[in-house]
């Protein structure tokens, strides 16, 4: 059975004064029956991990090399050393803004696993690709190249056009994509493909979480804006626990 996972991606938001939100989420998380993960900006990871209790902490990116002359980068081992247990990889903001390819994402995922992190691998089509009827082909092609050899991963389907826009695909569109992702995970990993959590991401809010979590093969969410405040993220976690 895939785990139910509510993951928050803070992106480049938050300073040490925001740690109180992480503390509030961590305290409430003890009574909510789902796996909760928060991925704050790297400078906050160590402090966040000290507060987190049942809340797991993740990074938002890592380098594919173990160490070396890579100014400004962060290794998977360094994330582990600061208390992280997950890392988001291949987010569309990194694929688009930094030219990250599927093969680079796979190399990062391999290194993350070697270091003891569980990678959260993001996939998603652009608006133009969806309009052209290419969404399934694009996302399944991303999946086939971006994943590592080991099935110890989480997948996040995040249509680029739904991120930060308030737009969400229809229930039928999410169903079609998540069913196709599940089938391909089976094809890649065999029986272990059944246990991989497939998260939906893109404008998830307390108001739409219940409807999204009712969709088969949606095992949770990767949440951006609505993970910044406990008052928004906790209702999403509760909806997931009740789904
Ligand atoms: P929003 O929830 O702000 O749309 O962001 C989604 C996202 O990119 C999470 O990784």
pLDDT of residue 53: 87
Q: What's the whole-number average pLDDT of the chain?
A: 97
Give 160 Cα–ligand 1 centroid separation in angstroms.
9
Give 95 Cα–ligand 1 centroid separation in angstroms.
14
Q: Are residues 40 and 48 in contact, defined by beta-carbon separation less than 8 angstroms?
A: yes
The ranges of the chain with pLDDT < 70 are none
Q: Rounded to an integer, what distance in angstroms lies between the CA atom of residue 229 and that of residue 222?
A: 14
In the chain, the domains with their CATH numbers are 5-226 (3.20.20.70)
pLDDT of residue 243: 97
Q: DSSP string spanning the chain?
A: -PPPEEEEE-TT---GGGHHHHHHHHHHHTTS-SEEEEE--GGGHHHHHHH-TTSEEEES---SSSSSS-TT---HHHHHHTT--EEEES-HHHHHHS---HHHHHHHHHHHHHHTPEEEEEE---HHHHHTT-HHHHHHHHHHHH--SSS--EEEE--GGGTTTS----HHHHHHHHHHHHHHHHHHHGGGGGGS-EEEESS--HHHHHHHHTSTT--EEEESGGGSSHHHHHHHHHHHHH-
Q: Rounded to an integer, what distance in angstroms lies between the CA atom of residue 223 and that of residue 182?
A: 21
Active site residue 125: no
pLDDT of residue 22: 97
Active site residue 91: yes
Q: Rounded to an integer, what distance in angstroms lies between the CA atom of residue 169 and that of residue 142?
A: 19
pLDDT of residue 52: 82
pLDDT of residue 167: 97
Among 63, 64, 91, 178, which one carries the catalytic annotation? 91
Tokens at 1, concatenated: 């059975």
CA-nearest residue, atom 9 of ligand 1: 224
Give 173 Cα–ligand 1 centroid separation in angstroms.
18
């Amino acid at each position: 059975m895939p785990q139910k996972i509510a993951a928050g991606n803070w992106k480049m938001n938050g300073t040490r004064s925001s740690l109180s939100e992480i503390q509030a989420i961590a305290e409430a998380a003890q009574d909510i029956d789902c796996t909760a993960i928060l991925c704050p900006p790297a400078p906050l990871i160590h402090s966040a991990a000290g507060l987190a209790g049942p809340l797991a902490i993740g990074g938002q990116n890592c380098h594919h090399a173990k160490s070396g002359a890579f100014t400004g980068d962060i290794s998977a081992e360094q994330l582990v050393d600061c208390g992280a247990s997950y890392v988001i990889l291949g987010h569309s903001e990194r694929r688009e803004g930094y030219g990250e390819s599927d093969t680079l994402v796979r190399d990062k995922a391999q290194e993350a696993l070697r270091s003891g992190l569980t990678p959260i691998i993001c996939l998603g089509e652009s608006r133009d690709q969806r309009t052209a009827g290419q969404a399934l082909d694009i996302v399944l092609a991303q999946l086939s190249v971006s994943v590592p050899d080991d099935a110890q991963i989480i997948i996040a389907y995040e249509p680029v056009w739904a991120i930060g826009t308030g737009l969400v695909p229809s229930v039928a569109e999410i169903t079609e994509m998540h069913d196709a992702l599940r089938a391909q995970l089976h094809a890649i990993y065999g029986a272990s493909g059944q246990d991989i959590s497939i998260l939906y991401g893109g404008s998830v809010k307390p108001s739409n979480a219940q409807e999204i979590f009712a969709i088969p093969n949606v095992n949770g969410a990767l949440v951006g804006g609505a993970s910044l405040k406990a008052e928004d993220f906790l209702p999403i976690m509760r909806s997931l626990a009740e789904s």
